[in-house]
Amino acid sequence: METRKDFPKAQAIWYFILAFGLAYALQFAAMYFYPSYFYQLSLMVVMFMPLLSVLILHKGLGKAKTGIDWKPKKGVMKWFAAAWLGPVLLTALGGTLYYLIFPSQFDATMSRYMMASIPEGTDLQGLTYPMLGIISMISAVTYAPLINTIPALGEEVGWRGYMVPMLTAKLGKKPALILGGILWGVWHWPIIIGVGYNYGTGYPGAPFTGMAMMCLFTTVIGILLSWLYEKSGSIWAPALGHGAINACASLPILFSDGARTQYLLGPAASGLITLVPFILAAVVVFFTQFKADSQQ
């Protein structure tokens, strides 16, 4: 997969103005409706803003116009399998680590979390709380990653498909991965500040520690998704990986005691402790799979 070299400075500036400006406007609008379903829907629309920004700049999304690879290489199904199942494995390892450190928060039945999160009086249609937890886990590792791939593609087109190659052309591959990951995290800052996205509220150093943690999370995940993009030769692979992360990142919370209001450390994959397996995987990938600096 070749990296484009012809990214005019004005084009790069306009991309970031559009990708951040459109997303920030929608995030501020979404906060007005928090925590309604319209808030969730608005955040899904936000995910398409990087793709829309590329589309506006180039009046198309084909490789000839944008440099984004769509068609997978031959014999790369293993990378799509890794995109689908890798996040599940790493999240499970991270969640296990979290509960080994905080065993008092662990509830194997998943009942306490379900009781705390489902409004009292809700008709469970004959299902028990553990059954609801099991259904959530099954959906997160089967069809949810596929459904999530579509909105995730809205981000991946802009980040892995366009921004990282653009930064690589200017800075080289490894600096581009780090800076690109940080920028991706900054892109989420309004809802972290406004409604405690991913980390809740009232945690030590809030909201600044949450903002920093989000940048670490997106940098780590961004390295792994960029690796999937390079190996597969198709933007669909990181989109599937992104969709799988969104589907399974919160699974460890199902086993919590239901009393958590702060998630800076975990048990979701965006927390520091649960992220450790992802960090280790990203470090290995960063130093072994991105040896050649793309900047000439």
CB 113 within 8 A of CB 254: yes
Q: Is the pLDDT of residue 296 over 60?
A: no
Sign of CA dihedral 175, 249, 147, 259: negative
Segment 7-34 shows an average pLDDT of 93
Under 8 Å between Cβ of 51 and 155: yes
Q: Which two tokens stand for residue 43?
A: 């955040």
In Å, what is the CA distance from 252 to each residue of 148, 203, 228?
19, 19, 24
Residues of 73-110 as b/e, b for ≥16 C-beta within 10 angstroms? eeebeebbebbbebbbebbbbbbbbbbeebeebbbeeb
- Cβ contacts of 183 within 8 Å, gap of 6 or more: 16, 163
pLDDT tens, residue by residue, 178-226: 999 999 999 999 999 999 999 999 899 999 999 999 999 999 999 999 9
Average confidence score pLDDT of the chain: 92
How far is it, in rounded angstroms, from Cα 42 to Cα 282?
30
Q: Which residue has the higher pLDDT, 30 or 4?
A: 30
What is the pTM (predicted TM-score) of this model? 0.94
Q: pLDDT, tens digit, for every residue of 76-97?
A: 899 999 999 999 999 999 999 9
What is the 8-class DSSP label of residue 162?
A: I
